[in-house]
Amino acid sequence: MNILKCYINKKICNSSYKNDNFMNWLFNLLSPIVVGVKPAEIVSFPPFDKNRDEKISFLKEFFKDDENIEIAEFPYCIDCKKMFIYNKKALDTTLNEKRVVNFLTLYGYPNSYNLDNYLAVLLEKFKEEIPHEIGIFLGYPIKDVMGFMGHKSLKLTKTRGWQVYGDPKISDYKYEKIMKIRKIHEELYREYLNIAN
């Protein structure tokens, strides 16, 4: 995973941000998005975090020159801030499937797919709540999102990263891909720490 190694060796290691625990946690979470295995993630910054503004500024600055990664900030609950962080290419591939488009049109998304238009609808919904169909944007299999939303033919099979409904094969495959990238991130980050110390 050369792109992930580049992030660890150049962007993360050369960063001026000093909170190593936060940085390691954040990029472990976001590493599947960086390489495009997962299309998006939501990161929360609660009001009781005294370093919240510093962390948000760091996150925006870190990705500002990355043409693939975008960040949309939205308020949630009382003074809680959330960031919707997404890989444009991966999200476009995820959403631009006929079955997904047909599903999302049932929840107010345009019949004709366009990434910017779909994101505009999602971000508008974020003003009221985080909608259940967010699972599609986060890369969960459509069957799991439908099951979570109460589709009668899909029964809960297990919970593994998210609630899995029906046949778990595709869900397990996606989960394993995500976890593999996170494991690679951990190994690369440990390697960096060993070199730095």
Strands 156-159 and 163-165, bridge-based pairing: antiparallel
| Res 197: pLDDT | 47
Question: How many domains are contained in the chain?
Answer: 1
**Per-residue tens of pLDDT for the chain, all 197 residues:** 556 666 655 555 555 555 567 777 888 899 999 999 999 999 988 888 888 888 888 888 888 888 899 999 876 766 778 899 999 999 999 999 999 999 999 999 999 999 999 999 999 998 888 899 999 999 999 999 999 999 988 999 999 999 999 999 999 999 999 999 999 888 877 776 555 54
* Structural domain that includes position 109: 2-196
| Res 66: pLDDT | 85
| Res 22: pLDDT | 79
